[in-house]
Structure 1
Amino acid sequence: MVARNVRLLREQRGLSLAELARRAGLAKQTLSNLEQGTGNPTVDTLFSIATALGVPVTRLVAEREQVITVQRGDEVVWRQHAGYESRSLDHIYGSGVIENYVVRISLSSGGPREPSEPHPVGTLEHLFVISGRVRVGPADSPLELGEGDFARYPGDRPHVYESLVDESLVHIVVSVPRVQPGTGATNTTRTDGNAKR
């Protein structure tokens, strides 16, 4: 898990093993062993690598397969405040590019659409169904959601947006991890308004 996460984050930033080792103040062989899964990093080593990559240390130890979260609209708890109620959908840690979309999805008469292209490594999509019923999320394990439901899932793999009724309206927040300036990483996000198809 740590080995895979370090390698993916390093490659996303366009860094060589030698350059990341230099930035983290580590021997290149130490980093190489860690990425091959044969190293046993200390907490200090993990913090040094995380700092060099510009991410929280939790990004190095998080299991990506556990990232899918579903919150059903009829099971949520509304918190009472002075004059209003609130419902927490999700929390986004760290910094980077945050894209907000309201997306109208129509029922496709030609069958399922082609999956959308993956976003950069580490991207998450946070989707709330305003109205309708949809099939969304990873192409290999899509989720069926209805009005008031919320889901968070990886956006860095092929994913789908399909309406199961005539028309559905969803709110999508795409969180793209921060890329350190000067790391050589490019194309971190689409900002041309065509990210959703």
Structure 2
Amino acid sequence: MSTGNTVVARNMRFLREQRGLSLAELARQAGLAKQTLSKVELGTGNPTVETLFAVAAALGVPVTRLVAEREQVMTVRRGRDASWQERSGYEVRSLDHVYGSGVIENYVLRIRGEGHSQPHPVGTLEHLYVISGRVRVGPEDSPVELSAGDFVRFPGDRPHLYASLDGESVVHIVVSVPRVQPGTGGVHGGVRRENGVATED
């Protein structure tokens, strides 16, 4: 059984290295002494609540990501517990986030109109599978029409759209982002309006 300090040490090292930060750079961003963080990462320190919150803020994660045991390999999301968020022309349900050298995000979209997305980080790919209905999706300058059972992979680092051609359509999207900036959230996590049309940040 891991002790609290061991869990914090392991999580902090994992998150720091994931973001390509040196211990000195993390200390600078958190406004803490490098020696303090060195002890925390070695598991020999006894970090205060203030220290934990400062480190979490610098890493762009909730403080629970530092103090909780990391999740096991298998994660189950039950449909009956689904939470949907409103977007422009569709609703989105976040399925999962997998952290590594970049990030893999899973979403289910319920599309009831046409939604437009701003470009995501360079190198982002979207892998979309149509569960039901008919859709027009992809880069705004070259979208494709798909039916249930169809799949498409397209670059997500260009302006792109999701449109239903048949009332409500449901699609599953896997988004692969080479690297994300700490604290930016998922690529479908924000939305703003331009000229009366909602677009994702």
Q: Which has the higher strand share?
A: 2
> TM tier, shorter chain?
0.3 to 0.5
- The normalised TM-score by structure 2 is 0.41
- The normalised TM-score by structure 1 is 0.42
